[in-house]
Amino acid sequence: MSTDETLPLFLRACFNQPTERTPVWLMRQAGRYMAEYRAIRKDVDFWGLCKSPELCREVTLQPIDAFGMDAAIIFSDLLVPLPPMGAEVTFGKGMGPVIEPRIDTPADVDRLIHPDVPATMGYVADAVRATVAALPADVPLIGFAGAPFTLAGYLIEGQGSKTWMKTKAFLHAHPEAADKLFTLLTDVVIELLNMQIDAGARAVQIFDSWVGALDPEDYRRWGLRYTKRIVDGVRRPGVPVIVFAKGTGTYLDIVAECGADVLGVDWTLPLDRARALVGPNVALQGNLDPGRLLGPWDALEPAIDRLLDSAGDGTGHIFNLGHGIDRTTDPAQVKRLVDHVRTASAKRRG
C-alpha cells in the first residue's frame, strides 16, 4: 500500500494506507451533550436547524473547535428525504420521530413521490458548502444518508421500533411493492449523496442503523442489494464510501460484499474478529460502546487502549463509537478520549 501524504489523515486511513496515528471522530459528535449546541437549539426547532446552512455549519464545527476530531460530519438527519417524498416527519418532545402518513399497503408505496433532490433538499448542499469553506483544510467533511432498509423501516412503522416487525411483515408479504419502495429510496439516496459530494463532502457514510434486525438471508435481499447499488452509484476517485450497518457483526463478511472502502463496526464485534471476517482490504471504523463514556476515566482509558490493541498495527482503523454519543455524556470525557486516541495511537506506531 502506498501513502499519499498530501491527503488528510482521515482519508488515508479510509483508503487503508499507513498513518502516523489513528484518526478519530465520533458519530453524533455535534449534538445535545454540548452546551454550545443546546444554546443554538433553544432558539430553533430541529428541522429549522437542519434547514439553516449557517446554523448547520456552526454546530458541525463546534466539536472540531472544542475537541479537534480528524473529520467533521455535516449536521443533518437521516429522515431528510422523507418529507419531499410525501411523508411528514415530526419530532415530539423527548420522543423519536413520527412519520405520517405511514406506509401500510402496496398502494401507499405508489403514492410516494420521487422528489427533485436539489430543489427539495438543496439546503443540505448549502450546508455542506458553508461548512467546507469554514473547516481547516486537514479536516474533511463527511456527507451522509440513511440506507433503504432504515428509511423504509421508519416509513412502514411510522416511528422507531425495537423489533421492526411491521417492516418485516411488509417485506415478506409484499416483496414486489417493497422492492419498488427500496429502489425508489436507493435512487433518492444516490442523488442526495452525490449532491453532497458535488458540494464538497470528501467522504460519505451510509447509515443502516436498524438493518441488524434482519437475518443474513434477508440482509442479502433487503440490505446488501440496495447498499451495493448506492456504493456503486456514488463512487468517485478519492472519495471513500463508509457503510455502517449496525448490528450485523455476525455476518459482517456479507456486508463487506457491498464494496465499501470502510465498514463501520459496533461494539459487540471486537475489531480483530471483524478483521478476520472481512480480510485485509477494507478499513474498519469503530467501535467503542458509547455507554463507556458515561463511566469514569479510569475505566474508559483501558477500554480505549484495548480497542487500539485490537486494531493490529492500526493501519486501516478509524477510531469511533459503535453508535452516536449519548446526550448525557460529559464533554470532558470526549476531550480526554480524543486526546488519548491521538497520543496512544501515535506511541503504538513509534
Catalytic residues: 28, 32, 41, 77, 154
Does residue 172 interact with its own copies by CB under 8 A?
yes
Q: Which is nearer to its own copies, 144 or 251 (CB)?
A: 251
Residue 305 contacts its own copies per CB under 8 A: no
Under the binding rule (CB under 8 A), the answer on residue 159 touching its own copies is no
Q: Which of 218, 301, 305, 309 binds its own copies (CB under 8 A)?
A: 218
- Neighbouring-strand partners of residue 188: none
| 294 lies in the site for its own copies, by CB under 8 A | yes
Q: How far apart are CA 59 and CA 108, in angstroms?
A: 36
- Residue of 269, 271, 334, 344 interacting with its own copies (CB under 8 A): 269
Select the span of 62-70, 226-234, 238-246, 284-292 touching its own copies (CB under 8 A): 284-292
Phi and psi dihedrals of 249, rounded to 5?
A: -60, -25
The span of 35-43, 64-72, 97-105, 296-304 binding its own copies (CB under 8 A) equals: 296-304
Residue 95 burial (CB count, 10 A): 10
Residue 286: CB minimum distance to its own copies, A:
11
- The burial class, CB within 10 Å (0-12 / 13-18 / 19+), for 233 is middle
Q: Quote the cell numbers at residue 334.
A: 470526549
Whole-angstrom distance, CA of residue 287 vs CA of residue 332: 20
Q: Should residue 263 be labelled a site residue for its own copies when binding is judged by CB under 8 A?
A: no
- Which one of the spans 122-130, 151-159, 229-237, 290-298 is the region binding its own copies (CB under 8 A)? 290-298
Backbone torsion region of residue 299, taken as left when φ is above 0, otherwise alpha when ψ lies between -120 and 50, otherwise beta: alpha
Our finding on whether 222 is near its own copies (CB under 8 A) is no
By the rule CB under 8 A, 118 interacts with its own copies:
no
Least Cβ distance, residue 236 to its own copies (angstroms): 33
Beta-carbon contacts of residue 31 (< 8 Å; ≥ 6 apart): 37, 324, 325, 327
Q: Does 176 bind its own copies (CB under 8 A)?
A: no
Residue choice 100, 215, 257, 272 for contact with its own copies (CB under 8 A): 215
CA-based torsion, 264, 345, 26, 62: positive or negative? negative
Residues 6-65 that bind its own copies (CB under 8 A): none
Nearest-angstrom CA–CA distance, 254 and 7:
30
Kindly state the DSSP code that residue 203 receives in the 8-state scheme. E
Among 118, 136, 238, 295, which residue sits at the site for its own copies (rule: CB under 8 A)? Answer: 295
326 binds its own copies (CB under 8 A): yes
The site for its own copies, by CB under 8 A, has a size of 40
Asked whether the CA dihedral 83, 194, 284, 75 is positive or negative, the reply is negative
